[in-house]
Chains A and B, each alone.
Chain A
Amino acid sequence: MIYFYAAMAVAAWLFLVGVYGIVTSRNLIHLCLCLVVVQASTYVLLTAVGYRPGGIAPIFADVKQTDKAVDPVIQALMLTDIVVEATVVALLLALTVQIKKKTGTLNPDKVNLMRG
């Protein structure tokens, strides 16, 4: 079980570090990448949840049914998660490009219409 708690600790660390980066960010690209760091915490957590010590990849075409395998459901979740989040990050970076074109700066504090 020790690997599981270690992975949990890594996931929590990635989450907090990413959030810290977002909160203090002065650059929109940096901010998007910090979001990717937060997202990495979900990958680590999911991998740890699905991991079985000594398990093989969950492809059962040419192996004996008794072989231990990691959880295939988690693999499906992670793939979906990756696809979803790639979309979101692409969208965010596209917005960032437009903001740079429009305002000439990547600093989110330089231009701000939404105060108050």
Chain B
Amino acid sequence: MWFPPLPVVIPLIVAASLVAIGAYLPRRVLDLVACATAASVFAICCHLVAASADQPIVYWFGGWRPEHRFALGICFVIDQAGAGLAALVSLLVLAAFLFSWQYFESVKSLYHALMLVFLAGMCGMCLTGDLFNLFVWFELMSASGVALCGYKSEEFGPLQGALNFAILNTLGAYLSLTGVAIVYASVGALNFAQASASLAAHDPGGWLVPIAFLFVISGFLVKAAAFPFHFWLADAHAVAPTPVCILFSGVMVELGLYAAARVYWSVFAIPLAAHSSVTGALFLTIGTLTVIVGGIECFSQRHLKRLLAFSTISHTGVMFLGVGLLSADGLGGTAIYLLGHGLVKGGLFICAGILLHRFRSVDEFELHGKGRELPWTGLLLLLGALGLAGMPPFATFFGEGQLADSARRHGLGWVSGVMMLSGILTSAAVLRIGGRIFLGWGLRRPFDSDEAPAIPMESETHGGHRNTPGTMWLPALALIAGAMAVALAPSVRIAALRAAHRMEDTRGVTDHVLLGTPMAAVPEVHIAPALGELWKPAVNVACAALLALAALFPRALGRARRAVVHAIERAIHPLRAMHTGRVGDYVAWFILGVGVYGAMLVFGYRR
């Protein structure tokens, strides 16, 4: 088999050629080449999903196969979870390229090249089976992501966002590398399978393994915007060019979560098996805090892109909760949720991009009522808000149902309450901003004197635009429709659950990679009954609508207004005060977070 590395090889080669000759090519040719590359990567990833249905594909670079259970070379281990995520990545890259077709008129070939390198980095992260290789893909993705974030380098906002992004993520990556070095020092292995087998065979003892685990995942936690590592994300997403935001929020953040889960199940699950309840509690704590902080901050924003960024933080919290269940059905539910959230969030960011294209602003108050000209964009935004709330038939509904079912069977029923909180707060925020922009409801000035930041957005396109080109609204429509359709068929949900089972079968994968023994068949999986959960989205949407209306028309609250506003301010202000915009403070939070989570692991393991 020769095709497994193609998802990273093709974009890298095309990117290198574009850097070399792109300056001589007309813009449309660049767009075509970029779209064709993304589409071909998507096709290959879909093929990989189909080809790995029976057994994971193991590809050894240079033919350096393991000898006597000792991995000499570097490998890709492609299972359905990784290949499926890579397919989502390439699909969103394709949507981003289509969107930038008539957007971003001033871009040159470097933009396309950077996007393709970004694509290669993300695909590499999905497919790799080696710890250090994972770090390299992670850094490739981060570096190209930073460059894309600061692409509009003549404005200050993107520069500050990119700087905060770069420093936090690089620091996280160093800590990951330290963790990798500790693993290598303990067992002399970098391959996932071999590191897992060696750590299980001779445990180095002490706190070494849990600390190595925490260090390795802390870089990915920064990328996944787990509380309190999340500050950079809002800054970067608010200012990055819109097509880049589609990728940042739709998949890059989720890749951090995927990498943390992948490293846990591929390397640390067996050595840490005796303490899985502590590991689960760690992920559940992270998830709960992230949901609450992200949700409240999301509701308090006035800048649409920044609002969507905080919504992403809140939803990653939900996915952390799913991973924290440490079970195959929880992981499968997370996968379905991730798929739905990525598509919906991509569509919502395109809506923000359309507003920016037409009105040169994404500010809630500047755009008050202006969106009346754009009823269809408003409708897409409304659909997106319903998707965030987990309304059927969106994939988020089925994912959340699966997660709630799994949580209930683990005796963690409260988890589904936290997940509902995320849906309520984020969709209320989108409904409120949509009501103000597209219907002209509510006040024209911020009610609160201490307002959220209104980051100036110089336009990404020339001149005022009177219409929205099809290359903009079609991708948004396709992504949101895709989010509705993708999990409707039970077969997709079954496939996600089967992929999760495979990802969790650490011993099976280890033997498959090192010895070539075929993995055991996946046991029968059961998708959670969805109909009994229908009350949840109804409650979510009702609460979200009430909250949005209360924020739009505070006077209607009558006498209760003062108390309500006071309570909301009490909740919001400490979080706002925390978000200082200073990268030094973010780094201090990062160290504090690593310290607290590390103490949690160490004390938990001692008991």
Contact = CB atoms under 8 A, between A and B. Distances in A.
Given A22-B584, A102-B159, A108-B584, 16 more contacts: A15-B174, A31-B583, A41-B178, A45-B181, A49-B185, A88-B166, A88-B170, A91-B143, A92-B170, A95-B163, A108-B582, A112-B580, A113-B456, A114-B161, A116-B450, A116-B576
Given A108-B584, A116-B579, A87 B143 contact: yes
Given A19-B171, A42-B181, A91-B146, A115 B160 contact: no
Interface string B171-206: 100100110010011000010000000000000000
A42 B174 CA distance: 7
Interface of A: 11, 15, 19, 22-25, 28, 31, 35, 38-39, 41-42, 45-46, 49, 73-74, 77, 80-81, 84-85, 87-88, 91-92, 95-96, 98-99, 102-103, 108-109, 111-116
A114 B164 contact: yes
Nearest to B142: A88
Interface string B231-249: 0001100100000000000
Contact of B453 (A25, A73, A108, A113): A113
Nearest to A84: B139
A92 B162 CA distance: 9
Nearest to A46: B181
Nearest to A100: B159
Interface residues of B, number: 52
Nearest to A25: B584
B150 interface: yes
Contacts of A11: 178
Contacts of B585: 23
Given A84-B139, A113-B455, A102 B178 contact: no
B143 A84 contact: yes
Nearest to B146: A91
Nearest to B176: A42
A49 B171 contact: no
B167 A109 contact: no
A114 B156 CA distance: 11
Contacts of B577: 116
A49 B177 contact: no
Main secondary structure of the interface of A (DSSP, over half): helix
Given A87-B143, A112-B582, A116-B576, A99 B170 contact: no
Which 10 pairs between the two chains have the least Cβ-Cβ distance? A114-B581, A116-B576, A49-B185, A112-B581, A23-B584, A115-B581, A114-B235, A84-B139, A98-B153, A22-B587
A38 B162 CA distance: 19
A45 B153 contact: no
A94 B236 CA distance: 17
A112 B160 contact: yes
Contacts of B153: 95, 98
25 contacts: A22-B583, A22-B587, A23-B584, A23-B591, A31-B167, A35-B167, A39-B170, A45-B178, A49-B185, A73-B184, A77-B132, A84-B143, A92-B167, A95-B159, A98-B154, A99-B163, A109-B582, A112-B581, A112-B582, A114-B160, A114-B164, A114-B234, A114-B238, A115-B579, A116-B450
B155 interface: yes
